[in-house]
Amino acid sequence: MRPRELRSGDPRGARLRAVGEATLKGTPLAVLLLLPALGAVTAGALGATDPAAGEAALGGWVGVGLVPLALLLLARPPASRPGAAALAPALLAVALLSWLASNGEGDGLERARALILLAGGALAAIAAAGLDEGGRRTLVRGAVVLALLASATDLAGLPGVAGGFAGNTGELSDAVLPGALCGAALACTGHGAWRLAGGAAAVLLWVHAVRTPVSAALVTGSIALVGASLAALRGPRRHAPALATAATVFVAGAAFLVAGALGERGAAPATTPAAAAPGDTGGIEVRARIWTRTVAMTLEDPWLGVGPGQFAVRFPLHRDPIEIELSSHGRRQEQEREVEHPHNDLLLLAGESGLPGALIWLVLAAAAGASALRALRSGDEVACALALGGTGALVAGLFNATLLYNPVASVVGFALLGALLGGGPPAPGARSRRLPVRLAGLAFLALAVWPALGLARHGLALASIAGPPPPTAVEVERALERALAARADSAVALSLRARLLERTGAEEEEVLAAWRAVLALRPHRVEPLLQSGVHHARRGDLSEARELFEATLAVDARHPAALRNRAWLELSAGDGERGLAALETARAAGRTDALWLTETGAKLLLMGREHEGAATLALAHERLGGLTGETAWALSREYRTKDAALVADALESRAHLLWAREHADDARWEDAYRSLRQVLRIARRHLTGGPAPVRLELGAALWRARMPEQARAMVADLTDRTPLLARLPAWVAEALAEM
């Protein structure tokens, strides 16, 4: 093509430009809009290592997939009438303002993910707003094909998206939902093969939701289809019966799931796994509690929010204790459960971008609702499909962060909303705008391209160690090196690295440095707080460990390991009375059982923490309280036959100590030091050198038995005696003073 042919005065050039304009408004543009979602759905189970990392990786895939569209729109922006679709870029603008106000603090990876989705959503909405009739038809049909592909692959258990492409079947249903609702509209209003394909997409979503189960998908479909049925009564009524039938099927499925869940909740306490199983009313209660606390968090910074992607960073301090119990299935789930988003698009936007962002979202939703009513009353199959798919994504956002957290649902949903809200290509001679299209492409390229590449590489690195088979330590280390090279601010990769260092026996300081790197990004995350406290306790850093355990409990006041570790720290190395109070708190919260109490009491006795150990044993079993030498000896024999060597040793040493005290009271010092030597002998099996209190008491007994050299040797290296002597019989201090 020669340049002169494109001059404005050249008729052939004008025709070529017209063809190019039509291309950018038709099928090719629609295909470019759906290409990122197709790539993300077929990218594999990228969330197998961590669901949040999977979402970030898919956000990267979607971002990379949108680059060709952004470049094309920047180079050759078609004339467009964006209409209310221009509200999508306004959401991005508000998020950027919130980011600037936060001075870039927080989790950089999560910020990148959030901005990629907002920039991608703005790009998709503005681009789709200019689609002509053929382009809109292709967009709808492409969304149906995408839903069919994802649902069928998952239901067949084939590699790729089986079990949820982000490691979460709920995320899969959200991604499928817009296309499946487009399919339901085609099945009810269309004709030919696409009517069958649309019906198949809707049926597969229904089957997936019932089988998984995912109540939110069926509730969303029910709301959208019931609304469509009612709207159709005001237009061509020929579609109303079919829409009503589809609505009835979805309502029946939703009722079946909710009824089953209510039956399970009626038979189980609120904190049992049955009461909080995914998809049932336990999930509804969890969401309700999260929503309430999200509102409280939002009101702390109502105008700017916490910043894009920072919900998961700030929300831990606001979590409801009952919600934590439900989410962790009554603490029966070992892995920590974080709240990555509030399961509501409006609340997520309000929390991260402030009330201005929420207001824009409400205006967008109202405009979409009005456009959907007009489309449904028209009876046109493409318009009805856009109405059901676009508003369905908005309704789904009432129960999940569908458009603002799920990468696939986001790009498809915003594209459908853009096509629904936009005015399409302008009529010949009518006023049109190219600047919004060009700005959307420019904003996406500036904000999203490089971060998207990093997220995609980061996700691929972590997916390589998801197994099976389980990766070796070397494989994990190499994968984490690649992940951190792509995104050095990955809290997931840094946490995996800290766990690897713990598993491979690295130095305490190296492990602590690894956990500190996680805390720099997520200062209120339970795992790094707790693990850092444990490692400080092992090093003897009492104040640091105490501070970290208290910080853990500030986030989760009933955390079992934090309560037990705090109690153990004080009982074994801190203030005994404070330790017993912490132990009682743990018991009141139901975080200690008889076995843990028995073993803890035994360890304390063998460490020389006599008062704390005896009190803990008494809490474990009534018969372990108020021991005499004889009863302690008899119980030690009993535990020895049960292969409980730790408890048997503790009780045997307790018997010898009590006998030594009886001998000392009778001034039989030779018998006293012999019994105390037995105590020391047993204790040295568990503690190198033996506990200082036992050595002090033995040294005093040796002195009173007129064995001065042995007495001095026993206590020579024990310089800080005063705190210990206060816990021993008075004669010990008297004897040592004579020495």
* Separation in Å, CA 367 to CA 261, 482, 650: 35, 45, 73
Confidence of residue 6 (pLDDT cuts 50, 70, 90): very low
Cα Rg for the chain, rounded, in angstroms? Answer: 33
pLDDT of residue 14: 47
pLDDT of 580 above 70: yes
DSSP-derived 3-state class of residue 192: coil
Confidence of residue 277 (pLDDT cuts 50, 70, 90): very low
> Which positions ≥6 away from 514 have C-beta within 8 Å?
494, 497, 498, 501
What value does the mean pLDDT take over residues 399-413?
Answer: 95
pLDDT of 739 above 80: yes
Distance in angstroms (rounded) separating the CA atoms of residues 704 and 325: 57
pLDDT of residue 681: 97
Distance in angstroms (rounded) separating the CA atoms of residues 300 and 304: 10
> Which positions ≥6 away from 685 have C-beta within 8 Å?
649
Distance in angstroms (rounded) separating the CA atoms of residues 146 and 124: 16
DSSP-derived 3-state class of residue 157: coil
With CA atoms as reference, report the closest residue to 53 among 489, 535, 589: 489
- Which of 314-318, 459-463, 686-690 comes out lowest in average pLDDT? 459-463
pLDDT of 431 above 90: no
pLDDT of residue 427: 63
Confidence of residue 20 (pLDDT cuts 50, 70, 90): very low
Percent of the chain with pLDDT over 70: 89
pLDDT tens digits along 232-269 = 887 777 788 999 999 999 999 999 887 776 665 555 54
pLDDT of 578 above 90: yes
Contact 163, 54 (CB under 8 A): no
Distance in angstroms (rounded) separating the CA atoms of residues 500 and 473: 7
User: What's the predicted TM-score (pTM) here?
Assistant: 0.89
pLDDT tens digits along 90-118 = 999 999 999 999 887 899 999 999 999 99
Task: Name residue, tokens 């705090």.
Answer: 566
* Separation in Å, CA 283 to CA 343, 345, 398, 643: 10, 17, 13, 44
pLDDT tens digits along 193-209 = 999 999 999 999 999 89
Distance in angstroms (rounded) separating the CA atoms of residues 190 and 192: 7
Percent of the chain with pLDDT over 90: 73
Angle at CA of residue 118, ends 112 and 121, nearest 5° = 135
pLDDT of 276 above 50: no
Percentages helix, strand, coil for the chain (3-state, rounded to 5) are 75, 0, 25
With CA atoms as reference, report the closest residue to 519 among 542, 563, 484, 489: 489
Task: Name residue, tokens 């001034």.
Answer: 667
In the chain, where are the structural domains located? 3-426+433-459, 629-739
With CA atoms as reference, report the closest residue to 137 among 31, 22, 238, 242: 31
Q: Residue 717 CB: number of other CB atoms within 10 A? A: 9
pLDDT of residue 457: 94
Q: Residue 470 CB: number of other CB atoms within 10 A? A: 9
DSSP-derived 3-state class of residue 568: helix
Confidence of residue 274 (pLDDT cuts 50, 70, 90): very low
Average pLDDT, the chain: 89
Confidence of residue 182 (pLDDT cuts 50, 70, 90): very high
Contact 121, 402 (CB under 8 A): no
